[in-house]
Structure 1
Amino acid sequence: MTDKLAQLSDAGVSIWLDDVSRRRLNSGNLAGLIRDKHVVGVTSNPTIFAKAVSEAADYDEQVRDLAARGASLDAAVREITTTDIRNACDLFRDVWQATGGVDGRVSIEVDPRLAHETDKTVAEALDLWKTVDRPNLLVKIPATSAGLPAITRTLAEGVSVNVTLIFSVERYREVMAAFVDGLEQAKANGHDVSTLVSVASFFVSRVDTEVDKRLDALATDEAKALRGKAAVANARLAYAAFQEFFTGDRWNALVNDGAKPQRPLWASTGVKNPDYSPTLYVDELVVADTVNTMPEATLHAAAEHSVLRGDTVTGTAAEAQQVFDDLANVGIDITDVFLTLENEGVDKFEKSWEELLDTVGGQLKAASSTGS
């Protein structure tokens, strides 16, 4: 059988798993995916942690210990999540070393309630970096207006960053500028920029979900013909922006110091619409110097069903732009789409964080009652 995931990896796409939990770590599931499915990194977010902690007994022992120590709720959540991330970093250490620090990366997100507060985001990012204390960590910072300067300031302190919740190419350009600003400041601060790595998490499937909803409301033949096209076109335009940005004297000066470009990461690649191929956001976004972070279901679907045709992104910018021109012509306000998605993304992660707090709070209370 053809190893489709090996082909994807050989095409320059780093395969990361969009999920981490203590059960995956303790059961050997994650180690098996590294060994058998070419997984070379992992991402987490508040929704992933909320689900993991609520569904598994793997956290019970740590919760009992935290309750016995009288840990506060925030401290308990911090210790639970950073323990998983630290252990995942250790699991990926060999990959990190083998790839020169490019892959083998594990991401943890700052408290999403800080998404609109620059100073607190930077403080939290630096604290997470020190708490996890692993060189292959990426701290996730959302690409909100307040997040942009936080990205620069965090990188300037020598901390590697995964920029999350990017929806528009316009915002992505601002993210790349913040990244380069951060590297230049890191260099000025005496940090070795060759050790700094960043990815820009460009969300994919949510774009189709929102645009398709608006197209369906229009109920015209022209609108229906555009369903399922916006997300891939958006990502392809993002890659064109990536190719354009990382050239020129300013970037080359950093390359001379060993700097690595901020790779686009295709996030939210699980297909939401059952009418579409389950590997749509894998097959149509194959191009070198990218990451595709997949839910496990998408990973297995890609292993079984992907139709890989080589590079499906380079040279597609004009075609992708035509999709957006057509969307505008039928009445889709794409600027409003991206604003809606960013606001919803922040709100969703805030709610997930609250769910995580509620779950751990309930577990701490139960553990205290049992132990008293």
Structure 2
Amino acid sequence: MSDTTPTAQLSAVGVSIWLDDLSRERIASGGLEKLIAERDVVGVTTNPTIFAGALAKGEAYDEQVATLAAAGTSVTDAVFAITTDDVRAASDVFRGVYDSTEGEDGRVSIEVEPGLAHDAAGTIAQAKQLWATVDRPNAMIKIPATIEGLEAITEVIGLGISVNVTLIFSLERHRQVIQAYLTGLEKAQAAGIDLSTIRSVASFFVSRVDTETDKRLEAIGTDEALALKSKLGVANAQLAYRLYEEEFASDRAQALLGSGANVQRPLWASTGVKDPNLPDTLYVTELAVDGVVNTMPEKTLEATFDHGVVTGDAVTGSYAAADEVFAAIAAVGVDYDDVSAVLEKEGVEKFIVSWNELLDTVTAALEAAK
């Protein structure tokens, strides 16, 4: 690799670096623009946890909260106004990236309410509302990859809205997400929508897979089991990339791509290590490959910039070894399907908890502003 920064090297491999964080203070201070210029950041993702943290500190929201309180705005409407304003402003910051990459990057994601995770109709309605309110072509609406979410993904893509599919843990669910995307593209095509304007990413969670699997391996406790700790997360993502390659090589996908559609890029999410014994750039350098997004918390971004060792494509030559990890995990008695199911359920529950914290934070702010 050339003698540039590790984040520049990662970008040169073909990885789009998105920041997994957003706050009004970061936007107003110029911090976001600085990350674009100095850390090769080309997008942002948000979630209820991020917004709850942003609102709980600093004074950047005080003026808007006071205005909303004076108008008697409900807490739900206040949260909607505050978060969509931040996403719109961030989208404007990233507009240059969006234009220079012809829509591939410069994306800012905002999530539907997590309580709608099992409500397809509610998800579709809110996705349309968020898209219309943010009113920026480089926004993305985050929809969780629950069974009900799959239906919503198809419908929302079919309306020409760009979607970040979140909370994917298993290979089979990833396959279903890709199929939901392709069906949505077909609906959009039938409606006369320009397919080239629609973008989507499939957010495959990494570190949480290791956290849950390692807990089970430790409970088994054998030498064979313990030797497999912290291996499934990377192997799972590597095989997700193989699946992506296979699915988009199909005749169905190729026909849509030939009509101007874009692939649904894999996105590595949950890339901050949870185990302090692991290298802090593990889920970045080991998953470097062309055509993916890695969305990083700032701590992981800074670690990568400081000491990440990027050696090129770390994924496409790894499939046989990843298959071996899967076989070994099954052989010691860890049920991969159960791990995935538990993580999806917990993922939705954690976002609901964060959403409620966000509502509580805004409720308190509105009361204090009266």
TM-score, normalised with respect to structure 1:
0.98
- Pick one of 243, 246, 254 that aligns with 1:244: 246
Q: 1:109 aligns with which of 108, 111, 120?
A: 111
Question: How many angstroms apart in 2 are the aligned matches of 1:154 and 1:119?
Answer: 10
2:326 counterpart residue number:
324
Gaps of 5+ in 2: none
Q: Counterpart in 2 of 1:179?
A: 181
Local SS of the residue matching 2:60: helix
Q: Which moved more, 1:143-152 or 1:23-32?
A: 23-32
Query: Secondary structure in 1 aligned to 2:359?
Result: helix
The match for 1:23 among 22, 25, 47 is: 25
Q: Does 1:38 align with 2:65?
A: no
Structure 1 residue identity aligned to 2:269? A
- Structure 1: segments with no counterpart, 5+ residues: none
Q: Secondary structure at the match of 1:71?
A: coil
Q: Distance in 2 between matches of 1:330 and 1:305?
A: 35
Note the 1:202-217 alignment, pairs <5 A: 202-217=204-219
Match of 2:11 among 6, 9, 12: 9
Specify the code of the residue in structure 2 equivalent to 1:153: E
Cα separation, 1, equivalents of 2:254 and 2:177:
18
- Distance in 2 of aligned mates of 1:55 and 1:169: 38
Deviation of the 1:52 alpha carbon: 0.7
Deviation by residue 1:199-222 (Cα, 9 ceiling, x = unmatched): 000000000111111111111111
Answer with 49-58 or 100-109: which moved more.
49-58
Q: Aligned-pair distance for 1:329?
A: 0.7
Report SS of the residue matched to 2:289.
coil
Aligned alpha-carbon RMSD (Å):
0.8
1:14 shift after superposition: 0.3
AA partner of residue 306 (structure 1): G
Structure 2 counterpart of 1:336, which letter? Answer: D
1:5-47 CA-partner distances (Å, limit 9, x unpaired):
1110010000000001111101111110001110000000111
Q: CA separation in 2, counterparts of 1:219 and 1:75?
A: 50
User: SS in structure 1 opposite 2:16?
Assistant: strand
**Structure 1 residue 258: Cα displacement:** 1.3
Aligned AA (2:29): S
- Distance in 2, matches of 1:105 and 1:85, equals 10
Q: Which moved more, 1:209-218 or 1:106-115?
A: 209-218
Divergent runs of 4+, >6 A? none
Q: Which moved more, 1:122-131 or 1:247-256?
A: 247-256
Q: CA deviation at 1:146?
A: 0.4
Q: How many residues align?
A: 368
Residue of structure 2 equivalent to 1:300: 302
Residues in 2 aligned to 1:250 and 1:143: alpha-carbon distance in whole angstroms: 21
